[in-house]
């Protein structure tokens, strides 16, 4: 069984993106890039939008360092995305986001049940992989997972089939024997269906049943939350994947 992460297993509470952007600017300024706040934020937003389009249209992942360095280059500096000052500044940018992540109810119970009888994996679309690895450690999920894939490391974003195929490869399982659980109709349900997995849709703070209906995607099972999925699998005679594959 493979899971999406943010939205499905964890929620974001009280996060302020604009505050993080200001902290990013402060880190950039302190690193020696003496540029005005308004000029930096304008260049940042333009570069971010450019690569957002690339990421969502081509389904390739682009890390934050690419557009932050491009913004600075547009302002007259010479710096590449591999510069260690970029990584340090991006860590500052994501610090509040990491702290905002909270486990959804019943997640550990579900993962404990799943991992006790079958392989469990996680696939996350995220532009800076260290945040996801840190979040998995912080929330105590590592013990339940046989593989954790982040789009920045893999290079491809859900729903691109390549990231799902890589997950199957790392887990040494076939798509037909795998269930994917996620909250995004397109990234999760569509992507996993493309490679032949069964799918479970879980509404979240980001996607509702209305979004699912509007997408036209047809998951094999819809649950109202992770707790309902856990109840369906708790005490099942078969493994969680067999229970969902054969009984729904």
pLDDT at position 241: 66
Which of 104, 113, 138 lies closest to 244 in space, CA to CA? 113
CA distance 185 to 179: 15
The CATH-assigned architecture of domain 2-11+103-247 is 3-Layer(aba) Sandwich (3.40)
Q: Encoding tokens for residue 58?
A: 């081509």
Domain boundaries, given as residue ranges, for the chain? 2-11+103-247, 17-99
Asked if 25 contacts 34 with a C-beta cutoff of 8 angstroms, the reply is no
pTM of the predicted structure, to 2 decimals: 0.94
pLDDT in tens, the chain (248 residues): 999 999 999 999 999 999 999 999 999 999 999 999 999 999 999 999 999 999 999 999 999 999 999 999 999 999 999 999 999 999 999 999 999 999 999 999 999 999 998 999 999 999 999 999 999 999 999 999 999 999 999 999 999 999 999 999 999 999 999 999 999 999 999 999 999 999 999 999 999 999 999 999 999 999 999 999 999 887 665 666 666 655 55
CA distance 200 to 108: 18
Burial of 213 (0-12, 13-18, 19+ CB in 10 A): exposed
Which of 115, 85, 105 lies closest to 24 in space, CA to CA? 85
pLDDT at position 234: 79
């Amino acid at each position: 069984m493979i899971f999406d992460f943010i939205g499905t297993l964890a929620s974001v509470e009280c996060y302020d993106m604009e505050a993080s952007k200001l902290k990013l600017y402060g880190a950039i300024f302190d690193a020696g890039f003496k540029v005005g706040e308004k000029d930096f934020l304008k260049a940042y937003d333009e570069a971010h939008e450019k690569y957002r389009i690339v990421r969502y249209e081509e389904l390739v992942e682009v890390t934050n360092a690419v557009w932050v360095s491009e913004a600075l280059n547009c302002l007259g500096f010479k710096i590449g995305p591999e510069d260690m000052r970029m990584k340090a500044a991006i860590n500052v940018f994501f610090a509040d986001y990491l702290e905002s992540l909270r486990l959804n109810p019943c997640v550990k119970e579900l993962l404990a049940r799943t991992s006790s009888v079958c392989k469990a994996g996680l696939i996350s679309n995220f532009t800076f992989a260290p945040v996801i690895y840190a979040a998995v450690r912080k929330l105590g999920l590592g013990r339940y997972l046989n593989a954790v894939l982040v789009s920045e490391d893999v290079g491809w974003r859900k729903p691109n089939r390549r990231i799902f195929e890589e997950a199957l490869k790392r887990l040494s399982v076939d798509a037909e024997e795998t269930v994917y659980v996620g909250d995004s109709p397109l990234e999760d349900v569509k992507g996993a269906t493309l490679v032949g997995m069964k799918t479970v849709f879980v509404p979240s703070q980001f996607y509702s049943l209305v979004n699912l209906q509007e997408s036209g995607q047809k998951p094999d099972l819809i649950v109202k939350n992770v707790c309902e999925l856990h109840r369906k699998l708790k005490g099942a005679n078969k493994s969680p994947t067999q229970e969902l594959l054969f009984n729904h």
